[in-house]
């Protein structure tokens, strides 16, 4: 099993945590029709799509939180997907309140090795179920 996809996911989180423009800096690893789905997308009613959708997602996060840090605790490959489990620590922009919660993400890679989808989960157990690893 290749570790390349796992390392790509680790790099994405590392870049996000240091404030890098993840989707600008690493645009070539995303399929142009890429989708990001998760709790914020459900408010909008549909996943964020393509590079412009990801830019909007980033702006939406930035509007709500002045800080957003991801602590990856487990990252593993399952077929053409990588599951990342960990915790989020965020600081509300308007409230100044710190929120901390466990989370999970499932990153799907296409045949060409580019990311086609990221699905974010507020409950890590749901992420595990999504890839058939119920614990």
DSSP assignment of 77-122 = EETTEEEEEEEEEEEETTT--EEEEEEEEEEEE-TTS-EEEEEEES
Please give the model's pTM, rounded to 2 decimal places: 0.89
Task: Give the pLDDT of residue 1.
Answer: 42
**Which residue ranges form the domains of the chain, and what is each CATH number?**
4-130 (3.10.450.50)
Contact 105, 125 (CB under 8 A): no
Residue 37, helix vs strand vs coil? strand
Task: Give the pLDDT of residue 35.
Answer: 94
Task: Give the pLDDT of residue 94.
Answer: 94
Question: How confident is the prediction along the chain (135 residues), in pLDDT tens digits per residue?
Answer: 468 999 999 988 988 888 756 666 777 889 999 999 988 775 667 889 988 888 888 888 888 899 989 999 999 999 999 999 999 999 999 999 999 999 999 999 999 999 999 999 999 999 999 999 876
Query: CA 79 to CA 134: how far, in whole Å?
Result: 15
Q: Dihedrals φ, ψ of 131, to 5°?
A: -105, 10
Q: H or E segment at 48?
A: strand 48-49
As a whole number, the mean pLDDT across the chain is: 88
């Amino acid at each position: 099993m290749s570790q390349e996809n796992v390392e790509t996911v680790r790099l994405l989180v590392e870049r996000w945590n240091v404030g890098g423009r993840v989707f600008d800096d690493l645009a070539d690893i995303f399929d142009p029709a890429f989708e990001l789905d998760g709790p914020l997308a459900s408010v909008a009613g549909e996943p964020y799509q393509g590079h412009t959708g990801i830019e909007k997602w980033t702006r939406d996060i930035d509007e709500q939180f002045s800080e957003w840090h991801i602590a990856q605790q487990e990252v593993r490959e399952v077929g053409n997907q990588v599951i990342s489990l960990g915790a989020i620590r965020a600081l509300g922009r308007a409230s100044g309140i710190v929120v901390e919660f466990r989370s999970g993400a499932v990153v799907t890679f296409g045949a060409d090795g580019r990311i086609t989808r990221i699905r974010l989960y507020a409950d890590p157990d749901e992420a595990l179920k999504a890839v058939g690893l119920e614990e």
